[in-house]
Structure 1
Amino acid sequence: MDLVWREEDGARLAATLWRTGPGRRTISSAMLGGGIGGTSWVLNAQVAGTYSRTDPVAHLGELAASHGLEGPGVGMLTAASVDRTMRRDDQGVHVSATVGLRVPTWAASPEGAPDPELAPIHGNALPAPRPGTINIVVAVPVALSDAALVNAVVTATEAKAQALLEAGFPCTGTASDAICVSAPVNGEEEPFAGPRSTWGSRIARAVHAAVRAGALDYAEQLRASERRL
């Protein structure tokens, strides 16, 4: 994983970049390269908290081209501090997570409930510009069946929610979280990736450790910001 930087809209922004090369496929909820398919790179790019572009897929394509990335890949955006990406490993599983919790969100909320992302803090004041979104990238060294890829996403998401609750955030994530799970194409496919399977348990532990570390780091950033006020 490489950490790269760019200047955009007067800000210095970071991105993490994996050049996996051919022979791997991913399952992802990302805007660029989402779904299941072969990929050769994964890009997680930071944007400003005031990001207002309405063509994020095109933007990600531009960023990929600027780094010389070719062929199919996965691109994700986040306003979280990408240079504070947390990396954790567990017996061959590698996970990185960028954690921003500007608007912690429960997955299920009553229909018609106001979106806290859009709600003012005091009267007509605009919300404070704090970073949001949790992006997770998981790499496993074994081939996974289609069903196991889906199962890996579920396992990682459950581990994320567990980590957030343990870190003191009453939420299951944010409304804009994204995930990418990467596995090799060749080899005998593992049929399961649930939290009690061999590889699913490793995914769960690595995701839990990375997200928990990121959430605790984010909480410390908030406390430091409040001390400066």
Structure 2
Amino acid sequence: DGVGLMTAADVSAYAHADDGGVEAFVTAGVDVRGWAARPGEGAAGVQDPGTINVVVAVPAALTDAALVNAVATATEAKVQALVEGGYDCSGTPTDAVCVVADAPGPHREAHAFAGPRSLWGARLARAVHRAVLQAVVIADRDGPAVRGQA
């Protein structure tokens, strides 16, 4: 029936973008950022605040596999936007991506793929990309303090 995210992000400062009916809502706190596969890191201690939350609404039915694919597509678009925005990172340690889609039904067949070259995946990627670019500007109006720091 719905989804909820617990976050320290200022959710009143969100960005929104849409593409062909796909809507992306993004909050971004980019004070703590890094690469996903950073050597020698674990979950020791409490992390400083910083998170990118992406919620995407797709007005089409997706199979379970396509939903997983949509999360990967959204994540790829997020990383592309971060790199293009001057952030040398793949995100923050606490990022969240949530994709909601219509339920399949007797007259609504579910799409089996949501990669960036599929109809709905391409729309999702463009919407997420634009929303992340906007969200990092909202969160960090002066740009990244030290680009490349992780």
Normalised by the length of structure 1, the TM-score is: 0.57
Residue in 1 that maps onto 2:59: 141
Aligned partner of 1:189: which letter? A
Residue 71 of structure 2 aligns to a residue whose secondary structure is helix
1:78–1:132: 8 Å Cα contact kept in structure 2?
no
Residue in 1 that maps onto 2:17: 88
1:111 CA drift (Å): 2.3
Unaligned runs of 5+ in 1: 1-39, 42-73, 119-126, 224-229
2:136 aligned residue (205, 215, 225): 215
Residue in 2 that maps onto 1:199: 120
2:80 aligned residue (156, 162, 166): 162
Residue in 2 that maps onto 1:175: 93
More strand by share: 1
Residue in 1 that maps onto 2:6: 77
Aligned partner of 1:149: which letter? L
Residue 154 of structure 1 aligns to a residue whose secondary structure is helix
Cα deviation code 1:30-57 (max 9, x no counterpart): xxxxxxxxxx12xxxxxxxxxxxxxxxx
1:80 CA drift (Å): 2.0
1:78–1:134: 8 Å Cα contact kept in structure 2?
no
Q: How does 1:26-45 map to 2 (within 5 A)?
A: 40-41=1-2
Aligned pairs, number: 141
2:34 aligned residue (105, 109, 129): 105
1:219 CA drift (Å): 2.2
1:86–1:213: 8 Å Cα contact kept in structure 2?
yes
1:194–1:200: 8 Å Cα contact kept in structure 2?
yes
Residue in 1 that maps onto 2:148: none
Residue 83 of structure 1 aligns to a residue whose secondary structure is coil
Aligned partner of 1:157: which letter? T
2:51 & 2:31 partners in 1: Cα distance?
8
1:114 CA drift (Å): 9.8
> CA-atom RMSD, angstroms?
2.2
Find runs of 4+ consecutive structure 1 residues off by over 4 angstroms: 112-115
Q: Using a 3 Å threshold, how does the CA distance of structure 1 residues 88 and 175 change in structure 2: closer, same or farther?
A: same
Unaligned runs of 5+ in 2: 145-150
1:86 CA drift (Å): 0.5
Aligned partner of 2:101: which letter? A
1:183 CA drift (Å): 0.8
Residue in 2 that maps onto 1:58: none
Aligned partner of 2:18: which letter? D
1:132 aligned residue (50, 68, 89): 50
